[in-house]
Structure 1
Amino acid sequence: MSTPLPTTLRILPSITEVPRAAWDALVDDTAAPFLEWTFLASLEESGSAVPERGWHPRHLTLWRGSRLVAAAPAYLKDDSNGEFVFDSPWATAAERAGLRYYPKLVLTVPFTPATGRRVLVAPGEDRPAREAELYAAVQEYARAERLSGVHVLFPTEAELPVLEAQGFAVRLGVQYQWHNDGYRTLEDFLARFHSRRRNQLRRELRAPAQQGIEVRTLRGDALADVDADAVYRLYVSTVDKYPWGQRFLTPDFFARMLARFRHRCEWVEARREGRLVAGAFNFAGPHVLYGRYWGCFEEHPFLHFNVCLYHPVEQGIARGLKRFEPGHGGEHKLTRGFEPRLTYSAHLLLHPGLDRAVRGFLAHERAAVQGGLPQWRAETGFKEGA
């Protein structure tokens, strides 16, 4: 029996330096859709995740000869914008101590707070072994480049043991998600709520029809008729409302998604007398729907809830999806049946003092998150035992 060739790490400045077929051969159901080559390439080619915007691609690829056996999207970052795991207090503490925090290396999908495999591994390979090889190699790279640390954002729970064995400290987060508990209809879902909350939700569900608004989802070939410019204008209508809002994505990103990534895109649109008044641009994996970009040209009561929550839930039930992740934040989701679920990140700071301080902070934060889960669950409005 021949001895396998050793693996070699190559760090690439663009996803386009990896053949699409080779990269996508590593993507499984726990990684799609955001780890697919076309999505990552579109972020770069559209000018969204590029050095001029603080994202310097440094994609990690592990090769055995000419065969790609593992990979992870990774970026050097000049700041912490668009990551959705908030570490600016760590950067401030480092600066006060006279330490350089940027650049840092992040293994993540830009602007995408969605859990999924951060390290892709080829079928037939020893997954934990390849993950460990990649993390060990990337630590050597980070030290050689004198980076402040390595951060793995939104990995799966299954990836945590290897990360911890490699010295990373795990951080807990919380998102509000809808899980399909075998519902056959939307009424099955509503039946879980106590009567007052159920009546409230039904009033909100009736609002679009009373306002003369039709809500529908377009997917697949039907997306050919969607105006990418309108999608972009709805996206900026939301981010421009807030002082902290930033236009992370360019118009070309949405055009590329509609042209090249239709098998993963869904467009929820709300029209009144044929006029587009609101919409949500979502993505779908094999079993999970991801809510992403919402906007409106007209304000109507409960329109946001219907476009971004109720309609996708109803569609998810009809299609037998396992889960709907509507995005980051939003405690209003709790009272509409979206339950708190843990998310994860992993952090390794290369300065010993800063690393100790961060680990101490994470221990306190972890206790607070775990202690808050029962109260958050109680706010869903589900009947006891439902």
Structure 2
Amino acid sequence: MSRPTPATLRVHRALTEVAQQDWDALLDDAAVPFMEWAFLVALEESGSVAPERGWHPRHLTLWQGSRLVAAAPAYLRDDSEGEFVFDGTWADAAGRVGLRYYPKLVLTVPFTPVTGRRILVAPGEDRALREAELYAGALAYSRSEGISGIHVLFPSQEELGVLEDSSFAVRLGVQYQWHNPGYRSLEDFLGRFHAKRRHQLRRELRAPAEQGITLRTLRGEELSALGSEEIFRFYRSTVDKYPWGRRLLTPEFFARLLATFRHRCEFVEARREGQRIAGAFNLVGPGVLYGRYWGCIEEHPFLHFNVCLYHPIQEAIAQGLRRFEPGAGGEHKLTRGFEPHLTYSAHLLLHPRLDRAVRAFLSQEQAAVRTGLSRWHAATGFKKEGV
């Protein structure tokens, strides 16, 4: 079989330079919802992703004539805020030896530590070939612009082979996810825990009723009635609460999602005495629920767990979803039925000395992560199989 004709690389400073129908024609389930054109454009046109915030869009596309055959959202970065793959020590090390670390080129979905496709390829194309071609184009572009390196954040495991063949070094991370082996009810899920842990979970699950709090999930027209201002209010309540909090997203971002992306959005609300006191904004893709932003205006024991973990689990069981990813961090999730799963990033530094140092660090870090997996699995509180 003859090899496809090499495609032409284009670099775009706004995703609106690519037609939505062309971009979305490349999507598959592994790319939905965060790689959808409407989501990425909402980030840009709301001002959440903008040069003044350290994000310079440089989206990469491959074309054969007028046909789009591959694409990746990509950004020049002035810093690493909002990436969730922490490379600040690498930047510091570069600075100490007189090397410039920024700008760097990042292929990612901003502010979204969720594993998924990072390169979209048109149906019928040789995926591995087009991925390699796009990485080669990214490398040539980076060299021509004096960019320090290329970083691919949260790619799918399927994409790692081409990344490694393209000379990227892989970094491992860990997130805690809930997987559904076929639960028919919440009781099926609770039945997996040993007695002591199951008793604790039941106590936490009873807390809202005992506190006079009701929970429910809003979708569709109910989200329109809720309004983006209310969603932003709860998002702001969390990011403003802590010294390290940052308002990475603007009010307009949530307004645009409700206007153009509402079919992917959900909101878990908690009410007490008729007033909304807490909420969690989530997104849903094919068979998967993604927890994103939570906030509250009243503090109650176990409220966060119920709004952000237990209620979404019940909803996922009821809807037959296969997975719930509640977001990055939080070892407290381990004892509540969330199991550790590897995440990935891939890095290619263009200065040989810095690249060697990063690869040596990653080799040691990978060993530590893999060693920790068995310990994290043991902390779930699940009964041993057959017990």
User: TM-score if structure 2 supplies the norm length?
Assistant: 0.98
Equivalent residue number for residue 225 of structure 1:
225
2:51 paired residue number: 51
Q: C-alpha separation between the residues in 2 aligned to 1:237 and 1:40?
A: 24
What CA distance in whole angstroms lies between the structure 1 residues aligned with 2:226 and 2:21?
28
1:77 counterpart = 2:53:
no
Q: Give the whole-Å Cα distance in 2 for the aligned partners of 1:6 and 1:97.
A: 39
Structure 2 equivalent of residue 322 of structure 1 = 322
The residue type equivalent to 2:277 in the other structure is V
CA distance in 1, matches of 2:282, 2:183: 22
- The match for 1:235 is 235
Amino acid at match of 1:26: L
Match of 2:156 in 1: 156
Match in the other structure for 2:63: 63
Structure 2 unaligned spans of 5+:
none
The offset of 1:385, in angstroms, is 1.4
How much has 1:384 moved relative to structure 2? 1.1
> 1:313 deviation in Å?
0.5
- Which residue does the alignment assign to 2:11? 11
2:185 & 2:357 partners in 1: Cα distance? 49
Q: For 1:67 and 1:2, how far apart are their aligned partners in 2? A: 19
Q: Distance in 2 between matches of 1:272 and 1:35?
A: 36
Q: CA deviation at 1:5?
A: 4.6
1:198 maps to what in 2?
A: 198
| RMSD (Å) for aligned C-alpha atoms | 1.1
Following superposition, the deviation at residue 269 of structure 1 comes to 0.5
* Distance across 1 between alignment mates of 2:339 and 2:119: 27
- What does the per-residue CA deviation read over 1:178-200, in whole Å, with 9 as the maximum and x for residues that have no partner? 00011110110000000010010
- For 1:334 and 1:283, locate their aligned partners in 2 and report how far apart those are by CA, in whole Å: 22
For 2:99, the aligned partner's letter is: L
Length-normalised TM-score, structure 1? 0.98
- 1:18-167 to structure 2, matched below 5 A, reads 18-167=18-167
Listed one character per residue, the Cα deviations across residues 133-183 of structure 1 (whole Å, up to 9, x for unaligned) are 000111011111111100000000000000000000000000000000111
- Report the Cα offset of residue 220 of structure 1: 2.1
8 A contact 1:5–1:65 mirrored in 2: no
Give the distance between the partners of 1:140 and 1:4, measured in 2 at CA.
20
Deviation at 1:6, TM superposition (A): 3.4
Q: Count the aligned residue pairs.
A: 386
Q: CA deviation at 1:342?
A: 0.2
Question: Structure 1: any 5+ residue segments left out of the alignment?
Answer: none
Note if contact 1:194-1:382 (Cα within 8 Å) is conserved in structure 2. yes
Residues in 2 aligned to 1:301 and 1:71: alpha-carbon distance in whole angstroms? 46
SS at match of 2:93: helix
Which residue does 2:271 correspond to in 1? 271
1:365 alignment partner, SS class: helix
Deviations 1:54-111 (A, max 9, x none): 0000000000100000000000000000000000000000000100000000000000
Q: Which moved more, 1:200-209 or 1:216-225?
A: 216-225
Aligned-residue identity in percent: 73
Q: 1:63–1:69: 8 Å Cα contact kept in structure 2?
A: yes
Match of 1:374 in 2: 374
Which has the higher mean CA deviation after the structures are superposed, 65-74 or 236-245? 236-245
3-state SS of paired residue (1:206): helix
Q: Does 1:181 align with 2:181?
A: yes
What secondary structure is seen at the aligned counterpart in 2 of 1:30? helix
Distance 1:150 1:3, change over 3 A: closer
Alpha-carbon distance between aligned partners in 2 of 1:274 and 1:10, rounded to the nearest angstrom: 53
1:4–1:383 distance in 2 versus 1, CA, 3 Å: closer
Cα deviation for residue 222 of structure 1 reads 2.2
